[in-house]
Structure 1
Amino acid sequence: MEFSSRNVETGFQHLCESVFVRLCQIVGTSVQVAIRRETTNIAEMMTRVVDTDTAIEMESGSRREGFRMEGSDYDFMYWPNDHRVIWDMPQFEYYYTENKNLILSDSSESTPGFTLLELLTPTTYRQIHSACVAMNGRFYISSSLFRQQIKTNRFPGSREHGPCESGELPGVAEFDLAFCFACDFWPPSASSWINRCHLWPGREVADDIVRNGCHFVPIGNPIGLHEHEEWRISFSLAEHKLVHTMKHCQFLTYGLLKIFLKEVIDTQSEETSKLLCSYHMKTVVFWVIQQNILPLWCPKNLLACFWVCFKLLLQWVYNGVCPNFFITQNNLFLTKIHGSAQRCLFQQLHGLYEKGLACLLQSPSIRVYISNVLYNPRLSICTNEDRMKSECEYDVELFNEIYMNVPKCPKNLGHCIKYLHTIELMIGEPLTQFQVLTLQRITAHILQSSAFILHNKYTNTNSNRQMYITDRMCCHMLKLAAKFGFISDRMYIAIYYIKTLRYRDALSVTESIKICTAQPGLMYHGNVDQERYTEAVGGQSWSTKMTQAVAHDIHLINYICYIRELTPEQQSSLKNSIPRLTIPLFVMLYFVEFLCYRHTDTNLAQAALEMIQDAVDHFQRPYANRLKRDICWEILGICQQMTGNLQAAFHFYQQTITQYPWHQIQNAAQMRIRDLHIT
């Protein structure tokens, strides 16, 4: 790409600004990225405080970093909270072994970045015990056996992918689940990293990263002495903290490298495709930032930032060495990029390098924006992020993230009280506006759970006074939750009225929901008429918008009884470790109406049944989320069975069985089919 004389600088800046605008569209503006990170942070923080007795779950990978690009995987790490890895025996004294099982890292025979894990104390986990192998008179947890033992079989078609269980959620995305162990101490082999953090990420962030230790994922070094027994040291938690400290231009450069890898590098040849990965791109950006090669990261310099990163990558491939950012002796290219594959990859990357920035023209996502500047050198480009997205687009991002970041399901009243106490403490902390809204929605969720758990606890009591007081408390909590939750949160009041046989009250609530959801500006699962939404609630507070114009699906926690007719489905789902049923709002709304009218008016009950059918048909369309179809068909079958139409019920239960088993309710459907006695 050639520029000449005086126009070089201006033309280059325009080119950078054009790509910056495009990346803000693909990757997100700084506000969108902040929304994604901050809503996840507050929900994860709450779960960490409350769920101290169970396995810990942490979202990792690109989505945790703030990406929502097409193809972004869902990555999760899980580890038992009552197991900890230590680096040496003196660290033993930091733990009370009555409630912690200790594991000793032994890296004496492992290459940098890998280690053996010796089980020091007996474990009650069958999967861990079964993965142990005897070596030199000691018991080590074999990474390969552990992967086999821990496989969930939760997702059809899932497979082993490195240390993870991987698969695809139909119509959603691919996923990686890594089951691992946590360590509260920083690895001695990564101690030199601490001394490098003078300029970036800064002492405060570095100290926070070191305090949080690391993890161990079940994968060994293929060229190590103990490939099937070794574990890899994982710095996932440290990495997403580092990514979160990046300036937005640095984050966009990382995003551009990911796009360039997928759309350009990986399409050069089959032989070299997948030799490089997104982790290598992240490592490049980390090193470039820390070495302060580029003092100025800004929209007008974006492509220069990209080019410096690309040149460093090219140098690494030439040398066959990609140093891990934390343990520099760990060469990330060691097992894949060497020999003929290395030479071929270098030739291809060098060919792209010789083209200069014109190599970006091979990227379908970026090409048109570069061409626009080349053919229109006087084109005016606005890099003001506030004008890149509409108010409605930011609202869609925010409310979807808030909906997605609901904490783990409370199992009992004690759990609920712990959540509410944690919320009370967090209210006094300095929170961002996005975190305040997330906390508001979490509070609604906990109040709803508390109401149903409380009612179930005192349903069979002989004390009328106790039942009256409980009912008053439950109604108050559900109405309070509806005041600062989504429109759809009012549905839990109707469900409670059904549960307590107040059908007229339940119908009153469903009518009010129908009126609200009939408004042209409704935002349902991010689907919205932007113009009408802006006319209806534009300029109002996010809290007002959330309660008046936003609706989502209904979650029924499988530990809690909500509607007696769905008990078999909840039990089947719970037996398969599924925490909740997720039911489309309108399917649930008309299901509640059907349950009310079947006692009083068969015509209106039939009308509600037809509306359920319409709502279910919507979820059979190609673009609809397939993950909710099983429960939709099941509810339709339940209603048909109640009306006496057994043949239709049989058909719908069969449909449930053929769907993707997201809720694992196939056993319930088969049981219902047997009960129909249709031959």
Structure 2
Amino acid sequence: METRNEELKTASIELYQYMCNALVGSEKIVRYRRLFFKLFDETWNTQRGFELISSGSKSEGLDLHGSDFDLMTLQKLFKVYENIDSSGFCITIDTNNAQPGFALLKVPENIGKCCPVLFPKTDNGYLLSSRKMRDLLTVKSRLYNGAFSIHGPSVCHNEVDLDRVYCLQCNTWPFAAKDWLLRNKSIEWPPQEVMENITEQGVLLVPVGSKSSSNEVNDLEWRMSFSLSEKVLIHSFNYVQLMCYALLKIYLKEIVNSKKTLSKLLCSYYMKTLLFWILEETDGSKWTPENLIHCFLACVKRLCYWITINYIPNYFIPTHNMIDGKLSNEARNEMIRMLNGVLSDNGWENIFYANSLDGFRARLSFNQVNCYNSFDKAIFPLYMTLEMKYFDFEHKYKHVIHRIVSNLPKTVKNICALQFLCFNYFSLSNVKFCNGDLKCRRSKHGHNKCTYITYRLILAKLIINTYSDAASGWLLLAAFFYNHREHFKMFPLLDLVTAQLSIDRLYLSLYLKTNFIHTLSRKRLSAKCSFLKRLRQEVMKDVPYSIDTKNSFLAHKNLGVSEVNEFLSCYPAVILHYFSFLAHYELGNIHQADRHMRMLQNTVQNTESGNPHLSVNANTYLMRALSFSNDLAGFQLTSKRVLQMMKNSDEYKTFLKDVLTVNDSLAPLARMIQNLDR
């Protein structure tokens, strides 16, 4: 037994050090991540009507492989209360007639009569229907051409890890959770000041009801969500507790979910709940680096017990069994066998077979991950969080600029500089070319002046955009010159991108789950260099993520515009060779155009094992180049390959199924792919 304890201590210390250096990051990195999302929320929440609350693993400080980013959109128009007279324009909570952990939302009779579809009349009065609210969200998601779907209370992005949850808030602590404040706790966790902070948060209500024995969702119930409270609790963790939380999430996602029969039966929220209960019942002095694996095993043991009795109690409302009716007897027995295996003599070593711990098994040198400073390691991977096309950030310009020029810490200013670059990038979609409207039709001089002003405005924004990363900014500027038939201006920019692509960098993508590209072949920029300079030299992104091309600087049909007026995002190397081909082709440099055609073909072939979306886009660029060259055989071969990739991709099958009903312009493409099955 003593030998096993020594092994656990040694392995725990080594694992803790590895996670600090290579997986989770240092305490300083975690603080920077949390600061990023705190500023993200504060930037958004400067307007009335709703409030944006970032949640999920990333906002908690973890940026593991596959970590999610959730947005709680709090509607502030509805006021929700408990135990007050509902004669005014407000909503009251009724938990007596709902399942534990859920509530009915009652509205005054005069309000309910105005919209009986949304507020059906029941024996308990007029209720706000969670199903009708979800139906409204489903209709809204169709505006994005099938890019979103509904899962539970969430509007989920089908291409990136983003769930958006619309919710209401009751600002008082619910009576159903009062026992959490009163129950005896074996130690002083959570601290008193944390509990006071939590009770001030109240509770959120999200539009999904409980499931009955027939597995049907109650259409009228709303689930109580303690997301705000849980974020406060996690931010109160010491660092070993946070590491244990990360280890539980890795074990679930990469070990348990790797078995098809057990995949997605448990969710990461259960791991969070599990750790809350364990922390409440154990001595805080036990949470030290040498006890990391021991603490992890204590959590697994509790989970095994819960699965055995088929009951996972909600941390705030224990009468709410979160797995009621979700596990079959076969799945529960298999889960118990797996968990008992971990608890056996050497079973704890199974966690090391998680893909995230490949480096730990190989005992890789930590020097490779230390080539970036802490701030860059924390913030660079979060950059893409800001690049969601439906975030209307433009009206936040003044707020962000004010912070940049104010006397604030440099870390805050640098994060705000990132926000400014994203605002500038998406504002490019809103700057339209002069199309001869009434104001400038009166005279040729007026039209020319309008065109010149627009040209200078877009050029200025594109030059600012070159600070966003090492390649995509220059490529978008080259696209601008192509659209104005200034082909010779493209070549210096394309040469610059060629040089940038020759050096390894951190590659960020909304479609690829990538980590840092570490290299010891070159010296990183000093932390004394400005943050924007480091960003420009060290980061590379897809080109671009999303820009509306209708009447914009990317409006030219040869630049890669899709049927829905969006630029086809792709790897920088693919865009580079495609633009190089276009420039030489337009100038009649046939030899150079053929050379870049061959380079484009080789580059596209190397992308076909990657993300299906980016691979299809890469082949689409190749098809366009082949059509210019009148290579009919190559065009047909590439077209067939593209259709086959679409057919084999589950993402495209779902997308095209939605397209048939909401987008007539893409319906022929959908039918063509469906014909491949015949």
Common fold by TM > 0.5: yes
Per-residue CA deviation, residues 265-315 of structure 1 (Å, 9 max, x unaligned), is 789997x98765433321121133345632342212323433544455466
Matched, 1:492 2:476: yes
Provide the C-alpha distance between the structure 2 equivalents of 1:652 and 1:670, rounded to a whole number of angstroms: 21
Partner amino acid for 1:442? Q
Matched, 1:447 2:424: yes
Q: Which SS does the other structure have where 1:232 is aligned?
A: strand
Task: Measure how far apart 1:232 and its partner are.
Answer: 1.4
Partner amino acid for 2:78? R
1:582 to 559, 564, 569: 569
Matched, 1:502 2:483: no
Task: Measure how far apart 1:249 and its partner are.
Answer: 0.6
Matched, 1:600 2:587: yes
Per-residue CA deviation, residues 169-205 of structure 1 (Å, 9 max, x unaligned), is 6xx8xx6846542225244233554678975355368
Change (3 A) 1:614 1:129: farther
Look up the match of 1:626: 612
Look up the match of 1:219: 209
Change (3 A) 1:165 1:286: same
Q: Which moved more, 1:248-257 or 1:628-637?
A: 628-637
The answer as to whether partners of 2:80 and 2:93 remain within 8 angstroms in 1 is: yes
Look up the match of 1:19: 15
Map 1:405-424 → 2, pairs under 5 A: 405-406=386-387, 408-409=389-390, 416=394, 418-424=395-401
Task: Measure how far apart 1:131 and its partner are.
Answer: 6.5
Per-residue CA deviation, residues 48-68 of structure 1 (Å, 9 max, x unaligned), is 446x678x7766444543445
Change (3 A) 1:587 1:607: same
Provide the C-alpha distance between the structure 1 equivalents of 2:571 and 2:81, rounded to a whole number of angstroms: 49
Task: Measure how far apart 1:387 and its partner are.
Answer: 6.0
Q: Which moved more, 1:531-540 or 1:541-550?
A: 531-540
Q: Which SS does the other structure have where 1:220 is aligned?
A: coil
The answer as to whether partners of 1:360 and 1:366 remain within 8 angstroms in 2 is: no
Q: Which SS does the other structure have where 1:501 is aligned?
A: coil
TM-score under structure 1 length normalisation: 0.74
Task: Measure how far apart 1:547 and its partner are.
Answer: 1.7
Q: Which SS does the other structure have where 1:182 is aligned?
A: strand
Change (3 A) 1:363 1:36: same
Look up the match of 1:200: 190
Provide the C-alpha distance between the structure 1 equivalents of 2:351 and 2:288, rounded to a whole number of angstroms: 22
Look up the match of 2:455: 471
Provide the C-alpha distance between the structure 1 equivalents of 2:157 and 2:391, rounded to a whole number of angstroms: 28
Provide the C-alpha distance between the structure 1 equivalents of 2:599 and 2:333, rounded to a whole number of angstroms: 63
Partner amino acid for 2:278? V
Q: Which SS does the other structure have where 1:582 is aligned?
A: coil
Change (3 A) 1:93 1:337: same
Map 1:245-264 → 2, pairs under 5 A: 245-260=236-251
Look up the match of 1:390: 370
Task: Measure how far apart 1:236 and its partner are.
Answer: 2.7
Task: Pick 1 or 2: higher relative contact order, CA cutoff 8 A, min separation 6.
Answer: 1
Task: Measure how far apart 1:564 and its partner are.
Answer: 1.9
Map 1:359-370 → 2, pairs under 5 A: 359-365=347-353
Provide the C-alpha distance between the structure 2 equivalents of 1:586 and 1:367, rounded to a whole number of angstroms: 28
Matched, 1:111 2:91: no
The answer as to whether partners of 1:591 and 1:612 remain within 8 angstroms in 2 is: yes
The answer as to whether partners of 1:260 and 1:363 remain within 8 angstroms in 2 is: yes
Matched, 1:42 2:39: yes
Partner amino acid for 2:613? L
Look up the match of 1:677: none
Q: Which moved more, 1:563-572 or 1:629-638?
A: 563-572
Provide the C-alpha distance between the structure 1 equivalents of 2:253 and 2:489, rounded to a whole number of angstroms: 55
Provide the C-alpha distance between the structure 1 equivalents of 2:521 and 2:35, rounded to a whole number of angstroms: 25
CA RMSD, Structure 1 to Structure 2 (Å): 5.1
Provide the C-alpha distance between the structure 1 equivalents of 2:157 and 2:72, rounded to a whole number of angstroms: 16
Question: How many aligned positions are there?
Answer: 629
Q: Identity rate of aligned residues, in percent?
A: 18
Provide the C-alpha distance between the structure 1 equivalents of 2:558 and 2:196, rounded to a whole number of angstroms: 49
Partner amino acid for 1:405? L
Partner amino acid for 2:269? Y
Partner amino acid for 1:629? S
Map 1:635-650 → 2, pairs under 5 A: 635-644=621-630
Partner amino acid for 1:599? E
Per-residue CA deviation, residues 423-450 of structure 1 (Å, 9 max, x unaligned), is 1233367877665444323322322343
Per-residue CA deviation, residues 474-508 of structure 1 (Å, 9 max, x unaligned), is 33333233246544322232233233333222333
Provide the C-alpha distance between the structure 2 equivalents of 1:509 and 1:289, rounded to a whole number of angstroms: 56
Task: Measure how far apart 1:644 and its partner are.
Answer: 5.0
Per-residue CA deviation, residues 249-275 of structure 1 (Å, 9 max, x unaligned), is 1011123334455677789997x9876
Unaligned runs of 5+ in 2: 441-445, 509-513, 672-678
Provide the C-alpha distance between the structure 2 equivalents of 1:504 and 1:62, rounded to a whole number of angstroms: 47
Change (3 A) 1:608 1:419: farther
Matched, 1:28 2:9: no
Matched, 1:547 2:522: no
Provide the C-alpha distance between the structure 1 equivalents of 2:538 and 2:98, rounded to a whole number of angstroms: 57
Look up the match of 2:464: 480
Task: Measure how far apart 1:619 and its partner are.
Answer: 1.9
Change (3 A) 1:595 1:39: farther
Map 1:419-430 → 2, pairs under 5 A: 419-427=396-404
TM-score under structure 2 length normalisation: 0.74
Partner amino acid for 1:391? C
Task: Measure how far apart 1:3 and its partner are.
Answer: 0.7
Task: Measure how far apart 1:400 and its partner are.
Answer: 2.9
1:289 to 254, 263, 279: 279
Matched, 1:232 2:223: yes
Partner amino acid for 1:403? M
Partner amino acid for 1:535? K
Provide the C-alpha distance between the structure 2 equivalents of 1:335 and 1:447, rounded to a whole number of angstroms: 49
The answer as to whether partners of 1:150 and 1:179 remain within 8 angstroms in 2 is: no
Change (3 A) 1:486 1:243: farther
Per-residue CA deviation, residues 561-593 of structure 1 (Å, 9 max, x unaligned), is 23223599867447xxxx875232233333333
Change (3 A) 1:226 1:565: closer
Change (3 A) 1:584 1:305: same
The answer as to whether partners of 2:189 and 2:279 remain within 8 angstroms in 1 is: no
Provide the C-alpha distance between the structure 2 equivalents of 1:66 and 1:273, rounded to a whole number of angstroms: 25
Q: Which SS does the other structure have where 2:93 is aligned?
A: strand
The answer as to whether partners of 1:537 and 1:545 remain within 8 angstroms in 2 is: yes
Provide the C-alpha distance between the structure 2 equivalents of 1:87 and 1:387, rounded to a whole number of angstroms: 54
Task: Measure how far apart 1:114 and its partner are.
Answer: 0.6
Look up the match of 1:65: 60
Task: Measure how far apart 1:515 and its partner are.
Answer: 2.7
Provide the C-alpha distance between the structure 2 equivalents of 1:458 and 1:593, rounded to a whole number of angstroms: 29
Look up the match of 1:3: 2
Task: Measure how far apart 1:386 and its partner are.
Answer: 8.0
Provide the C-alpha distance between the structure 2 equivalents of 1:90 and 1:545, rounded to a whole number of angstroms: 55
Partner amino acid for 1:597? H
Change (3 A) 1:500 1:279: same
Change (3 A) 1:631 1:348: closer
Provide the C-alpha distance between the structure 2 equivalents of 1:409 and 1:160, rounded to a whole number of angstroms: 17
Provide the C-alpha distance between the structure 1 equivalents of 2:664 and 2:148, rounded to a whole number of angstroms: 20
Per-residue CA deviation, residues 598-619 of structure 1 (Å, 9 max, x unaligned), is 4322414444444433333232
Task: Measure how far apart 1:22 and its partner are.
Answer: 4.8
Look up the match of 1:378: none
Task: Measure how far apart 1:17 and its partner are.
Answer: 0.8
Look up the match of 2:443: none
